[in-house]
Chain A
Amino acid sequence: MMNDAFDLRLAESHIEVHKFRSGAIVVSTFLALVLQAFVPVYFPKFAVLDLPLLVVVYFGLSRRNPSTGLLLGMVIGLLQDSLSGPTVPLGLYGIAKTIIGYLASSIGARLDTEHPAARFALTMMFFVLHQGVITLTRRLLLAEPEPWFTLRLVIAAAINAVVAVVLFTLLDRLRKS
């Protein structure tokens, strides 16, 4: 029923739901997590990127199904939590990426998000929102004093958005024609 409703809406707005080659989501997720936990050893500046978030945003915008989007976000977020050591409790990135997964698929179901400019703007917005949710969770649930807004956040959002435009174009190749 849920999928029928979405198909109907998508049909009305002429927005295509993309399908991917088998294993594409699993491999992309795994690669993003490995790179996120490995590359900063040699290139510390790489840590500014949040590759798992970009994967959540991309598949959310492409698959356009809020339920699968939020579940994918939850799984990736929890895996990122578990790779981050005991200083990051399980659920911190999980909650943030669940919300982003849901929003990305909901927006993807209503707007055409294939244009690079749209992808840039959406990724930047999702990055800021993601950090906002993490800050909120840290402040409310963990009672940790986190700043709401820093210049570093804006710079990181812009860098992630630029990388997203390139990365999303590469990930487009994993789509089934």
Chain B
Amino acid sequence: MAGVPSRHKSLVLLAGVIILQVVLLAVQIKRDSQGRLLRVWTVGAVSPFQRAGAKGIGNIRDTWSHYFALQNTTRDNEQLRRENDALKLQVNQLQSKAAESDRLAALLNFRQAQRNVPMLAARVIGTGADTGSQTVDLDRGERDGIRRNMGVITPDGVVGKVIESYRDTAQVQLLTDKYSGVGGMLAESRIQSPVGGTGEPLLSMKYIPTDETVNVGEHVVTSGMDRIFPRDLPVGIVTEIKTGRPFQQVRVRPAANLQRLEEVIVLLTLHPLEKKETPAPAADATGKSVGGTAAVNP
């Protein structure tokens, strides 16, 4: 920089710094390396504050709801009583619907079949620092047995998979991330297709042939073909169908509330999950596979 005029030195520095970072990007693409050391240091420095913050907010919420928000208890009780009556009515209606009870039975069977899959509850303590982030940070990591590519769920449905595991924390790629995917299947027709994220709140089911019938409101469940998630976990509900050739464009609303995740369950296994045939009537139908195995690269 000795021969460079002083007013141009900052411009030269700018060019040098940008070239360095472009090279850094190129190296990561070429070697598929992700600069793990810097990430470990940064996450290690920030995660204690995230953990403390999550605990602090939990304590504040508890204190508020147990001590300060009691003036609403009577009103809440009345409201709950009304809701309870309405729910009783709803339960009676639901009990009369055979198809719905079949689906619930299938879900129950799945839970019993997967009883031996080890699971771990974890708290969401942060999100990715980029503005369009579709990742979340968990307060459990390698020390708790979490490894890359483990499945993450909530009682409502599939959340995503672990993409990085550090000593005490782990990062989860949400199903809505545009590079995310899961082996999916329409619950009624058993047609299989990968379900992928779009970067938007809705998911996309891309490979349903035009001649297949899909209905809005139909449930989408995991097919088990990705070898990450067990079969028959809720993925979402079909909300929109657009005709196209050769495939329909099916949009799916995630079953789990991915916008507001606070606690999740990590499936602590990297072994391909055993596919068990559920005795539910719908499950006996012949499944049609269209690119199901391409959904996720475990």
Residues of A within 8 A of B (CB): 1-2, 4-5, 33-34, 36-38, 40-42, 44, 47-50, 52, 65-67, 70-71, 74, 78-95, 98-99, 102, 106, 137, 141-142, 156
Q: Is B280 an interface residue (CB 8 A)?
A: no
Cβ contacts A to B, 28 pairs, < 8 Å: A2-B6, A33-B129, A37-B46, A38-B49, A38-B125, A40-B127, A41-B54, A41-B136, A41-B262, A50-B131, A70-B10, A70-B17, A74-B17, A74-B21, A78-B38, A80-B130, A82-B39, A83-B46, A86-B164, A87-B163, A87-B173, A88-B128, A90-B39, A95-B18, A99-B14, A102-B14, A141-B29, A142-B29
- In the assembled complex, the Cα of A83 lies from the Cα of B135 at a distance in Å of 10
CB neighbors of A among B115-140 (8 A): 124-137
User: In the docked arrangement, what's the CA distance between A84 and B262, Å?
Assistant: 18
Which interface residue of B39, B124, B127 has the most chain A CB atoms within 10 A? B127
A94 x B128 contact (CB < 8 A): no
Given the contacts A34-B50, A41-B262, A91-B22, A85 and B128 also touching, CB distance less than 8 Å: yes
A87 partner, pick from B13, B22, B179, B259, beta carbons under 8 A:
B179
Query: Is B24 an interface residue when CB atoms closer than 8 A count as contact?
Result: yes
A47 to B133 Cα, complex, angstroms: 8
Report whether A1 and B6 are in contact in the complex, using a CB–CB cutoff of 8 Å: yes
Judge if B7 is at the interface, Cβ distance under 8 Å: yes
A90 and B38 contact, CB distance less than 8 A: yes
Query: Does chain A have a CB within 8 A of B9?
Result: yes
A-B interface pairs (CB < 8 A), number = 155
From B34, B132, B164, B261, give the contact of A89 (CB < 8 A).
B34
List, in ascending order, chain A residues with CB within 8 A of B21's CB. Answer: 74, 78, 90-91, 94-95, 98
Known contacts A2-B6, A66-B10; A92/B25 CB under 8 A: yes
Residues of A within 8 A of B46 (CB): 33-34, 37, 83
Are B9 and A82 closer than 8 Å at their CB atoms? no
Residues of chain B within 8 A (CB-CB) of A47 are 127, 131-133
* A136 → B minimal CB distance (Å): 12
Report yes or no: B28 in contact with A87, Cβ–Cβ below 8 A. no
What is the bound-complex CA distance between A89 and B21, given in angstroms? 10
Asked if B226 is an interface residue, CB under 8 A from chain A, the answer is no
Interface size class of B (residues with CB under 8 A): 35 or more
In the bound complex, what is the Cα–Cα distance between A87 and B35 (angstroms)?
A: 12
Cβ distance B4 to chain A, nearest Cβ, rounded Å: 10
Known: A36-B129, A41-B125, A41-B126. A90 touches B34 (CB 8 A): yes
What 0/1 readout, one digit per residue, does chain B (30-74) give for beta carbons within 8 Å of chain A? 000011001101110010011001100100000000000000000
B139 vs chain A, min Cβ distance (A): 11
Task: Tell me the smallest distance from the CB of B167 to a CB of chain A, in Å.
Answer: 15
Check B22–A141 contact: CB distance below 8 A: yes
- Measured between alpha carbons, how far is A123 from B163 in the docked complex, in Å? 34
A82 touches B35 (CB 8 A): yes
Q: In the assembled complex, which residues on chain A have CB atoms less than 8 Å from the CB atom of B28?
A: 89-91
Question: In the complex, A85→B174 CA distance in Å?
Answer: 12
B245 contacts chain A at the CB level, 8 A cutoff: no
Given known contacts A85-B163, A95-B18, A99-B18, A67 and B13 CB-to-CB distance under 8 angstroms = yes
A-B pairs with the 5 shortest C-beta distances?
A66-B10, A83-B129, A91-B21, A82-B42, A1-B6
Least Cβ–Cβ distance between B128 and chain A, in angstroms:
4
A37–B129 touching, CB < 8 Å: yes
Residues of B within 8 A of A83 (CB): 39, 42-43, 46, 128-129
A90 pairs with B35, CB closer than 8 A: yes
Residue of B nearest to A109 (CB): B10
In the bound complex, CA of A94 to CA of B6 (Å): 25
Give 4 new A-B contacts, CB below 8 A, not counting A65-B10, A89-B34: A44-B259, A84-B129, A86-B39, A87-B134
Chain B, range 158-211, C-beta contacts under 8 Å to A:
163-164, 171, 173, 177, 179
Which residues of A sit under 8 angstroms from B163, Cβ to Cβ?
85-87
- Closest CB-CB distance, A45 to chain B, in whole Å? 10
CA distance A67 to B11 in the complex (A): 8
Q: B14 to A95, Cβ gap below 8 A?
A: no
Contact B130 A93 (CB under 8 A): yes
**Neighbouring A residues of B29 by C-beta, 8 Å:** 89, 141-142
B242 lies within 8 A of chain A by Cβ: no
CB distance from A177 to the nearest CB of B (A): 28
Given A89-B34, A95-B18, the answer on whether A84 and B10 have CB atoms closer than 8 Å is no
